[in-house]
Amino acid sequence: MRSIYHPQQKHMRAPNTKRLDPKGSSGSYSAKLLADLIYLSARHETSAAFLRDLCGVIQKRARADMTAVVQGVKGQWRVLAASENWDSSRQLPVDQFSEVLDVESCRREGAWVAAPLEVPSESGHLLVQKGSQLTDDEFDALAGSIGVAWQAFRERAGAMKRVRQLEAILDMSAQWNQSRETDTLLIAIAEASTRLLNAERATIFLSNATGTELIGMPALGVDDGVLRIPVRTGVVGKVVETGEPARVDADISSEQEQIDRSVDQQLGFETRTILCVPLKNAKGKTIGAFELINRLEGNFTDQDEAALTELAAHAAIAIDTTQHVEHLETVCRTVATQAADHVQLIGESEGIQRLKKTIERVADTELAILITGENGTGKEVVAQLIHYLSPRRDEVLVAVNCAAIAENLLESELFGHEKGAFTDAHQAREGKFELANGGTLFLDEIGDMSLGGQAKLLRVLEEKIVVRVGGSVPIPTSARVLAATNQNLASLVSDKKFREDLFFRLNVVMIEIPPLRDRGDDVILLAEHFLNAFCSRARRNTPVISAQAKSRLLAHSWPGNVRELRNMMERLAYLTDGDQVEPEDLAFVNAPGKGDGVSSVATDQPLADATREFQLGFIQKNIDRCGGNMTEAAERMGLHRSNLYRKMKQLGMGETE
């Protein structure tokens, strides 16, 4: 029995201490061999290169004809490394090799001599020479020495390789987890794995939605870069089905039969070696397979399999995360599209057409926009349209009514606060600027903001940084700000009620929404739109608006603008049950003080004078709305053109078109 040489390698033997060099002392020979082993170990990083040079050194020392290190795998022998003059065409004495493994000792057959590198020889590695000048004991001891040196080299090289692999895997994993597109991620994973494990190609296979196909990417040689194969096909199908790794070596005919050559024909490629491991998600379910094809040097090893298994674990997490992100982005886009579809600027009047064109031009910019208009004209609708037509449409739109927030809470609402910043601040909270980061912040009724709040808002708009109340950490914000008001900000600036610098900061582009009374037939379009929508909610047929009712709608001054019209149609949908809307169904609510010449008739005069004054204003207002077109104005008022002229003559009005 041979003695133990390495304390951590219980199956390794110590070199034979007998004289190895007939012409020198055992000490000098051992010292030279040790020096050679140390030199070769420091020079090389791979076992193949280490063994190749080692064979040359040993051949010279043993004065042999040829030297090689071989391994028996699955009943077949392969040459791992050999001296330069090795004749690969020469038939090897395989029976002798098998006997060496059985007896675990040196054996000769003719000019051939072989000995195991390790005892017991579980790995099947042998040192083989032809024409060796060493005795059996000397050759046996030499093989043992080389086996110990090679094992030490493999452990050191394996540890170094493992460190490099782990560093590479961690770096790649960090990059993969930042990916937001599965296709791009799969290509990155494949490219990284081929570099890391010295393979020619790599493909990640994932099951399709129905589980009937395996879809592989990237697939070189395929038009769209995607390879589709039936489930349970070839090595990949076996791995997906069993959840266990699989390898195919180049020199094992029984394993070569597992390769699906139809895929090779499809890709115009020849597969020699395969390493395939399962891809499993966080729940341990096999979702696909990770396949490497054609190792650049020899067959895939146990170390390669361990590295690819670990790489697959990180890849599966990255793929799962990226697919989840893609799903969320798809849902977000769907929600944004649905929301955008419900935001419509209905109307065909000249003012609305100009407004639509302006919105289309400014939506794709980052310009600050000030939206003005009377109450109820649809300022928030315009803000929503700008948001949904912009590149920020998939991000959040946050609306803030500045008039509805108390002055002492405005800063907290807009910029957020830290825990304990003030009474009742039991926990930290994000402000509206933080919530709208990357999206759009709509500040409605900006004219009602206090001067102190205006100063803080101006600072944020200029610096793009917010600081929470009670905090000191600057928080960047990229929210686009849209502001709206029903007041004349220029007048407020003159009255020192609004900061001039903030006014110019907000008023890069001003969008003015026309009042409903100036939008002509848009009144009818909007009325029918709202009526149809509310009747659908009320689960009833939409009634038809009669001609007389349309005339009443067109003649109304609409002090509440679109909001008033919407409310009226909602009342009609729920409180009437006829098939037609008649004038008596319309309940107008006029707001005082609009100064439109119709609803502001003085009450301290005789009825006849008040009636005449109302008719004058009513007729003139409709003529103005129609741009002087008397035929259209008559239709609006439910009159024939000749009757309108007759009435104007009675009132002393001119009869010009």
CA torsion sign for 383, 384, 389, 391 is positive
Inter-CA distances, 656 with 104, 624, 628, 629, Å: 123, 12, 8, 10
Residue 637 in tokens: 């008022």
Gap between the Cα atoms of 299 and 57, Å rounded: 25
Cβ atoms of 633 and 609 closer than 8 Å: no
Bigger pLDDT: 601 or 71? 71
| 104, amino acid identity | E
Sequence-ordered strand ranges (E) for 245-321: 246-248, 274-280, 286-295
Assign domain 4-160 to its CATH architecture: 2-Layer Sandwich (3.30)
* 385 pLDDT above the threshold of 90: yes
Q: Which pLDDT belongs to residue 594?
A: 47
Q: Which pLDDT belongs to residue 510?
A: 93
Q: If we measure between CA atoms, which residue out of 626, 619, 627, 621 comes closest to residue 648? A: 619
Average pLDDT score, the chain: 82
| 22, amino acid identity | P
Burial class (CB in 10 A: 0-12, 13-18, 19+), 546: middle
Q: Which pLDDT belongs to residue 595?
A: 46
In terms of DSSP bridges, do strands 416-417 and 580-581 run parallel, antiparallel, or are they unpaired? unpaired
Q: What percent of the chain lies above the pLDDT cut of 70?
A: 88
Cβ atoms of 527 and 554 closer than 8 Å: no
Helix 136-176 with 302-341: angle, nearest 10 deg: 10
Pick from 174-183, 323-332, 479-488 the range whose average pLDDT is largest. 479-488
In terms of DSSP bridges, do strands 440-444 and 397-401 run parallel, antiparallel, or are they unpaired? parallel
Bigger pLDDT: 102 or 181? 102
* 278 pLDDT above the threshold of 50: yes
Residue 493 in tokens: 């600036």
Assign domain 516-585 to its CATH architecture: Orthogonal Bundle (1.10)
Residue 19 pLDDT level (bands cut at 50, 70, 90): very low
Gap between the Cα atoms of 317 and 147, Å rounded: 40
Q: What percent of the chain lies above the pLDDT cut of 90?
A: 26
Interval 387-424: pLDDT, tens: 999 999 888 899 999 888 877 788 888 998 888 888 78
Distance of CA 657 to the CA centre of its chain: 63
Q: If we measure between CA atoms, which residue out of 607, 608, 628 comes closest to residue 619? A: 628
Interval 133-165: pLDDT, tens: 888 888 888 888 888 888 888 778 777 777 776
Residue 597 in tokens: 């010449």
Residue 378 pLDDT level (bands cut at 50, 70, 90): very high
Vertex 436 angle, CA 432 and 442, to 5°: 75
Q: If we measure between CA atoms, which residue out of 399, 404, 405 comes closest to residue 381? A: 399
Cβ atoms of 516 and 522 closer than 8 Å: yes
Bigger pLDDT: 111 or 219? 111
Q: Is 188 helix (H, G, I), strand (E, B) or coil?
A: helix
**Distance between the two ends of the chain, CA-based, in angstroms?**
126
Q: Which pLDDT belongs to residue 349?
A: 92
Kindly write down the DSSP assignment for every residue of 432-459, as one continuous string: HHHHTTTSEEEEETGGGS-HHHHHHHHH
Find the range with the poorest average confidence among 20-29, 150-159, 343-352, 498-507.
Answer: 20-29
* 547 pLDDT above the threshold of 50: yes
Gap between the Cα atoms of 483 and 511, Å rounded: 10
Considering only the top CATH level, what class is 177-327? alpha beta
The most distant pair of C-alpha atoms in the chain lies apart, rounded to whole Å, by 146
Question: Kind and range of the H or E element at 430?
Answer: strand 429-430
Q: Work out the average pLDDT over 248-264.
A: 81
How many alpha carbons lie under 13 Å from residue 136 in its C-beta half-sphere? 7
Cβ atoms of 258 and 264 closer than 8 Å: no
Give the Cβ contact number of residue 308 at 10 Å. 25
The label of the residue with tokens 């042998």 reads 126
Burial class (CB in 10 A: 0-12, 13-18, 19+), 97: buried
Residue 291 φ/ψ region, left for φ over 0, alpha for ψ in the -120 to 50 degree band, beta for the rest: beta
Q: Work out the average pLDDT over 243-252.
A: 88
How many secondary structure helices (H) and strands (E) does the chain include?
A: 22, 24
CATH fourth-level superfamily of 350-512: P-loop containing nucleotide triphosphate hydrolases (3.40.50.300)
Burial class (CB in 10 A: 0-12, 13-18, 19+), 63: exposed
Bigger pLDDT: 340 or 385? 385
The label of the residue with tokens 């104007």 reads 648
Q: Is 297 helix (H, G, I), strand (E, B) or coil?
A: coil
Q: Work out the average pLDDT over 271-282.
A: 89
Residue 277 pLDDT level (bands cut at 50, 70, 90): very high
Gap between the Cα atoms of 438 and 204, Å rounded: 34
Is the previous residue joined to 559 through a cis bond, with omega within 30 degrees of 0? no
Bigger pLDDT: 462 or 325? 462
